[in-house]
Amino acid sequence: MNSVGEICQSVESIFQFLLSELKLSTSASEQNCRSVADRISKEVDRICTQSNRIQASGELESWALTLAKHRLQQCLHYYKLGSERGRVDLAGTLSAVVYRYITPPQAQSTYQARLPLIEDFLQVFLIESFKAFLRENQLPEGYSPRTLLQLAEYLAFTERYAKRRIPLPGHRTQQLIILRAQTFSQQQPIETPVDIEQAAEGLSGESENSWSAASMQQVREQMVAQEPEPAEDTLRQTIIAELIAYLDDRKQPDCADYFILRLQDLPAHEIEALMNITSRERDYLQQRFKYHLIRFALSHRWELVHQWLEADLEKNLGLTLQEWQTFVEALTPQQQKLLELQQQKLSDTEIAQRLGCTIAQMQKQWFKLLEHAWEIRNYFS
């Protein structure tokens, strides 16, 4: 095991590495970079010191550098996104993780019914995360992120805090945020609607689960400020939530779990371990998920997905002018009529009536057209 002197030397080298990278990659002040580098290096040291596995490995310096690089990468990710987009990105990541675990008390767990509950849950969870951030970094209660780098540091900490693995009976583990979401969902009153406006104002009260007004104010200022969200980020979150709901409606919970893990950029072997499946089973699951993803993108919510991809009808389904002309000329008269009616933004019922076919037949034909356009885009990209 490393001596105290070797550990101190390792901490100092990690600090200097982080400081150098932060000064190089951000426009933050020297003092700002120093304070953030100091907090991250101390967190890395604490993990390496408390982990029996790391201590037993005999590779403390290697582990420390790996952990430091990971935290630096997360911090710079949110820093580059900026204050507004960083908050939106974190909210989208956490929402996707907890979506399946927060269900309204009503029988119909629709997408629209879950959204207010998820917003309410995240407000409470972010306060818990902020308190943990202050506690673990030994910061005063009045501390609040003031600079972009400080905010990025907190957003990165919150993502890691949410994904901490908590040991459970039977040698199992679960992410902290999922356990919190399950508890939150179970505590919802059966018939009492959640007052989101009250939650946004601070959820004042005297119960053991209530939070101080000062902490709520700090988090609200930094995380849930009433700013207009970028349209593309809002659209991305909507698509993620609706795809998960789509998979749930079709009794594909394993596909939804696989999608959630993919959103977290986990490698294949970690997905297999978390889902307790073999490589062959994961390959099969991936193919099944791909099938449902295509159905969702080209049929169920084709307008939403194509808008997000900037490939909607107003932009010729993402084709160049030459590709579009070739695409249209290859259509049959019936298909060209279908395309014209879709461009007029008529309902499926109206289009089917004008074409003299059933809605199912019309949707099948439109699926084929979108699929063909998709193939053209992928072929030439």
Question: Phi/psi zone of residue 169: left (φ > 0), alpha (ψ -120 to 50 degrees), beta?
Answer: beta
Judge if 34 and 147 occupy the same domain: no
pLDDT of residue 194: 35
Judge if 122 and 2 occupy the same domain: no
Judge if 176 and 97 occupy the same domain: yes
Domain limits for position 374: 310-381
Judge if 114 and 168 occupy the same domain: yes
Question: Phi/psi zone of residue 244: left (φ > 0), alpha (ψ -120 to 50 degrees), beta?
Answer: alpha
DSSP state of 194: P
Judge if 89 and 219 occupy the same domain: yes
- CB proximity list for 96: less than 8 A, separation 6 or greater: 237, 240, 241, 244, 260, 263
Ranges under pLDDT 70 in the chain? 1-9, 104-112, 188-236, 264-265, 299-312, 377-381
Judge if 113 and 144 occupy the same domain: yes
pLDDT of residue 8: 54
pLDDT of residue 214: 47
CA-to-CA separations, 349 to 202, 281, 332, 338, in angstroms, rounded: 46, 40, 21, 12
Judge if 52 and 110 occupy the same domain: no
Number of domains in the chain: 3
pLDDT in tens, 222-250: 444 434 444 455 666 777 777 887 887 77
Tell me the one-letter amino acid at 3: S
Q: Round to whole Å and give the CA distance between 304 and 235.
A: 8
CA-to-CA separations, 322 to 309, 326, 371, 375, 380, in angstroms, rounded: 19, 6, 18, 15, 12
**Both tokens of residue 54?**
């790391």
Domain CATH for 326: 1.10.10
Length of the chain: 381
pLDDT of residue 75: 95
Judge if 75 and 96 occupy the same domain: no
Number of Cβ within a 10 Å radius of residue 350: 12
pLDDT in tens, 3-19: 444 545 577 899 999 99
pLDDT of residue 53: 80
Q: Distance of alpha carbon 256 from its chain centroid, rounded?
A: 13
**Both tokens of residue 109?**
């767990």
Coil, helix or strand at residue 232: helix
Judge if 45 and 120 occupy the same domain: no
pLDDT of residue 157: 95
Judge if 70 and 184 occupy the same domain: no
